[in-house]
Chain A
Amino acid sequence: MTTSTRRSFIKGSLAALVGASVNPFGQTSAALAALVQTEARPWEQQMRDKFLGETKFRAVNMPNCTGSCGWNVFVKDGIVQRVEQPLDYPDDEYNPRGCMKGQTYVRRVYAADRIKYPMRRVGARGSGIWERLSWDEALDYVASEMKRISEKYGNDTVWIYPPVPATGLVKQGGGFRFASVNGFGIGTFYNWYGDLPLAHPMTWNVQTEEHEFRDVLNTKYAIIWGSDIFQTRMPDAHFFTDVRAKGVKLVYIAPYFDPTASGVDEWVKLRPGTDAALALGLCHVVVKKGLADEAHLRRTTSGPLLIREDNSKYLKASDVDPDGDPKTFMVYDSKSEAPVPDVYFSDEPPLTGSWSVKLANGETITCSTSHTLFLKTLDEHDPETVSEITGVPVDVIERIAVEYASADPASIWSGTGINHWYHGDLMGRAVIALGCMTGNVGKQGGGVSPWAGQYRMRLNPTEYFFPKKNADGSERYRPVPLDTAYVVNGPTETMADKEKLWRQIRCIYAAGGNLFGQASDQAQLAKTLDEEIEFIVSPEVQMSSTAQLADVILPVVSWYELPMDICTTPAHPYLQMHEGALKPIYDAKPDIEIYYELCKRLGTGDIFKFSKPEQAADLLLKTGGPRVEGITLERLKKERVIKVNLPTDPFAPFTEEVEGKKMFATASGRQELYKDEDRFIEYGEQLPIHKEPHVASPYGTSKVWSEAKKERNPNMQAYPLVYHARHTRWSVHSSWRTTDILLKLDDIGQPLLEMNREEAAKRDLVAGKYAIAYNQHGYIKAKVKIRDSVPTGAVLIYFGWQRQQIREGHWNGLSRVDINPIHEIYFKPNVWGPVSGHFDQICEVKKA
């Protein structure tokens, strides 16, 4: 019976395949004939029967990893059995998309730590003693507390924290809408996490612009700079290994011998936090060897713009002509020997030079082109000096510079490794300068792409996030942006607008963000929590650190139970529809339903309006703007994955700008390597320079090399190791960190302090025994792992561990993040604001 079933099946499929003249393994029909079983093996049928009765639905996983991967979820009798990548991305290069975390999400759906019911804290905070509530009781209670706090302290002291809306626009965006209609405060995430590359708004006045990962296939040389893509960009890492297989050289720049370092052609090891120096050293060589793309610099960058020597500001038309426009930038005209208004993309103005310029007030000053000043900066970054700073050999600096500048196009893929620093903006600007210097910006296969954070929404969410107050939308309901950095750290003297941007919050609604597990500055946060926060609500799927410390927990559905959502990412160009088909487990509800119910109780239900995801999704698509024009809900339901409208395929930013078709969005219309806001001048950061790390430097901290090298950092005598709590392949931040089957594969399944043999031996530390990493702010106790990938002078811990998994202390307890005043010149939520520099940290390790 079994045998005959199989035989007939194979015959059938064979016939079909031969008929279609395409056969499964590209093999001859003679070989396929071998697929005929001779002996009855009933057990084989049991294996085949595993797949009987399966139905499937296509979900999208929505963690903040930039993956946004679709999954076919196979269900039997209402229980998820397994998942598979659907292989349905129109560009086959993206198939299969999804890693082992997506493979094991099912273990989280049915995890023992799923939150089952609404619960209220009855014991001390964090004691784990709860009472079960009905949904009505819970919602009434939360709404009444929010009302009480609003009345006592003001609406904006109720703080909603719905991070990374692109992951699930309806679900996370609902938090924005909820905050808007009630006038609550709202947190930031992209800048505060340290993912926002401030160099991008500084240079290009954009939030961030990156090349789509498929564009790696167009590159001829790739530098992966401080981004451990093998661990943190799993679905897209193959683009790099693919081009390497085709002969493209991959260079990895990082202090650690990370997984990525093991899979590239050259690993360039440098001292942590000295990346800007290396980038400037590379620029130096590019200039000296005559490899600079002067046309690109002249036409599209601030290079030819004139800078006043007396005040370091850009020379403006109004400076030389009383009737001149104060917003017009000036270049030098060699014919008339005078400054003239800048014309974008002109080949006329000199790129270098200094001239006397007569001002409208009669004064005569010296003006130089900004490129001239940059060349002066580069003079201080000769390969010998850079080698002294970074530890990279001179010949390597010279060779990499020539290789990068000679390849066309050459690309740089940077990451949080050069962004999670106090001076991350300088590092980013120096790396961008290298891209500009070689004319690699705005070119497919080129560019500088800083991969961090799923910030990109692909559509304009204004109508959903900030509902209209009047018919024409000139007035809208808006939340009060309260930067998470200030919420955690308190206000600073240098913040952009203290009056507007600082409130002592009293209530936290942490919607999908594990604030009390993942925040930098845990010690400070714990203090704030004790002294100032009166009420914490944690709508959660699993018992995260934040849920454990909350006053009320609301059970939220897992993705597989969420009826629908819309998902986007910067990593690939597709808008996807998520569809979950499981019935909610226990008492769980979708976020949007919870928001709606709370709004009803707060008197804003009619404004919030949506209780079902589909209504919101429809609005988002209809009002999403040109990028999603033509993408309707009906189409999305049918096709599931639709490419958004983009100017190039694969997408590369700034192509039109560098072809002269339009100007950059900056004040000058050019790529601004030179910045002249007062604070840049005050700190001497008009141009990209190298400053020693703010904390983790053995030399003079936050100083330029010529001064820094004369000093020794006294703190590093006590805490000589650079401390990095880093992303791991096994979790997306704290998501999946408690997943049993992944813990089994993550070494010994617990936090590990990893250091090399030399550093361990110095401290008499033994692999597998407990040790304590500590500094003046806090400590963590964990077992030691000896791993020579970690450089001398550093200790690393892969992060994301929840409260209950840590023996003692907290892996973020050691971080104390000072806010860089440069980051506070402006405040635009998630576009220009405090960027966390938590890699800029030191510690000492001792035996426990």
Chain B
Amino acid sequence: MSEELWQKYYGQPNPKYGNRAQYGMLIDINKCIGCHTCTMACKNTWTSGSGQEDMFWNSVTTAPYGKYPRHGEETASHDEYDYRYPNLYQDTPKGTGPDLWQFYLARPCNHCANPACLPACPTRSIYKNDDGIVLIDQDDCKGFQYCVKACPYDKIYYNATTGKSEKCVFCFPLLEKGQEPQCVKSCTGKIRIFGNLMDPESTISKMIRDPSLGVQPYDPEVGLGATHRTISEGERRQYRPDFGTIPSVWYVPPRNIPPEEVEKYFGYAMQGLIQEPNPVPEEVKMKDL
């Protein structure tokens, strides 16, 4: 992202929503070991209740074939199957012979600077708070699920028990207690950095804008009891920036995949199309789920 664009979206209070901070994340895919500790830390904290059985605010899948939710790909007639197998095709690589590739894609809500879900809500239950966190007011939500359909990242989930839609809250109650979100704090692969993108002096802002910084030890005192983490050098990008929602979650794309695939997942090669860059080949597809 150019300095100009950075300044436009993060350098100042959000022109549309007025939030004066924008919390975000930097995730180094090169270091992800696919352990799902983040997913489980999130789940145990927020989504262990009734109606949330198949709900993973933070999910990890193996690209290219893993996808959560799946959108009727396997069994076209059943919506429930979209969510039932959140990690289908784990560790199933693409390629031939020894030239295989795969990567783990950890995804919380992007808490976009320009969220697609928010304007889609007919009951105006979705808001961006002053920290830039996108939230669904559970008192106001009527469960129309327009947001579920609007989010190109599929990061909003309908809870059939409560009849309302739910999503990642960036652990705002923990932030207020001076702690990092669960998926960041628990990350045993030490791949995530969290902080305020709008603050030019924050560790995350500096690390996103200067890729050489991640490998230098930074002051472990910085950041809510955060432990020190090493982040790979290399370009920082957003996942599917072509959707145009200006995600606040950033990635260090995997070095071990073909460059054209990086452009599909972390560039504009997909041109905003709502489809997976790599559909599952017929012979690999799981039958009899």
**A interface, CB within 8 angstroms of B:** 6, 9-10, 13, 22, 24-28, 31-39, 41-44, 46-48, 50-51, 81-85, 87, 92-93, 95-100, 103-104, 106, 229-231, 234-235, 237-238, 241-242, 244-247, 257-259, 261-263, 267, 269, 729, 741, 744-748, 757, 760-761, 766-769, 783, 785-789
Contact = CB atoms under 8 A, between A and B. Distances in A.
Contact of A230 (B34, B46, B127, B203): B34
Given A32-B21, A760-B283, 15 more contacts: A9-B176, A13-B178, A26-B219, A31-B20, A37-B130, A85-B186, A104-B40, A234-B37, A244-B232, A257-B100, A258-B91, A259-B33, A262-B100, A263-B31, A768-B286
B37 to A, nearest CB: 5
Nearest to A246: B215
B33 A51 contact: no
A38 B203 contact: no
A649 to B, nearest CB: 18
Contacts of B199: 25-28, 31
Nearest to B44: A82
A797 B88 CA distance: 16
B130 A787 contact: no
A767 B46 CA distance: 34
A83 B44 CA distance: 8
Contact of A87 (B19, B221, B223, B225): B225
A275 to B, nearest CB: 17
Contacts of A84: 41, 182, 185-186
A262 B188 contact: no
B214 A245 contact: yes
A234 B215 contact: no
Residue of A106, A246, A247 with most chain B CB atoms under a 10 A cut-off: A246
A25 B100 contact: no
B287 A44 contact: no
B90 interface: yes
B35 A26 contact: no
13 contacts: A24-B178, A26-B202, A34-B21, A34-B198, A51-B173, A234-B37, A241-B189, A244-B31, A257-B93, A767-B287, A768-B286, A768-B287, A789-B92
B224 A746 contact: no
B173 A47 contact: yes
A47 B169 contact: yes
A788 B93 contact: yes
- Measured as residues with beta carbon below 8 angstroms from the partner, the interface class of chain B is 35 or more
Contact of B289 (A229, A768, A785): A768
B85 A747 contact: yes
B248 interface: no
Which of A31, A33, A237 counts the most chain B CB atoms within 10 A? A31
Given A34-B19, A262-B256, A25 B288 contact: no
A789 to B, nearest CB: 6
B189 A262 contact: no
The 5 closest A-B pairs by CB, nearest first: A34-B20, A27-B199, A768-B287, A103-B40, A25-B195
Given A26-B203, A757-B284, A259 B91 contact: yes
B23 to A, nearest CB: 8
A747 B85 CA distance: 7
Q: Of residues B31, B198, B286, B289, which shows the largest number of chain A Cβ atoms within 10 Å of its Cβ?
A: B286
A242 B190 contact: yes
A254 to B, nearest CB: 12
A245 B215 contact: yes
Interface of B: 13, 19-21, 28, 30-37, 39-41, 43-46, 48, 54, 84-96, 98, 100-103, 127, 129-131, 135, 137-140, 169, 172-174, 176-178, 182, 185-191, 194-196, 198-199, 201-204, 214-215, 219-225, 227-228, 230-233, 256, 283-289
A42 B135 CA distance: 13
Contact of B202 (A25, A34, A46, A245): A25
B86 A745 contact: yes
A10 B286 CA distance: 50
Contact of A263 (B188, B195, B225, B256): B256
Contacts of B174: 51
A241 to B, nearest CB: 4
Given A34-B130, A245-B231, A230 B224 contact: no
Contact of B287 (A35, A99, A747, A766): A766
Given A9-B176, A768-B287, A43 B139 contact: yes
A771 to B, nearest CB: 12
Contacts of B176: 6, 9-10, 13, 35, 48
Given A242-B230, A748-B289, A27 B201 contact: yes
A241 B191 CA distance: 9
Contacts of A10: 176
B173 A96 contact: no
A84 B92 CA distance: 30
A26 B195 contact: yes
Best-surrounded residue of A13, A100, A237, A244 (most CB of chain B within 10 A): A100
Given A25-B223, A245-B30, A744 B86 contact: yes
B30 A241 contact: yes
Nearest to A33: B20
A238 B173 contact: no
Nearest to A243: B230
Contact of A745 (B87, B182, B222, B256): B87
Contacts of A24: 178, 223-224
A262 B37 contact: no
Contacts of A787: 91-93, 284
B203 A238 contact: no
A786 B284 contact: yes
A729 B35 contact: yes
B286 A41 contact: no
A262 B101 contact: yes
A244 to B, nearest CB: 7
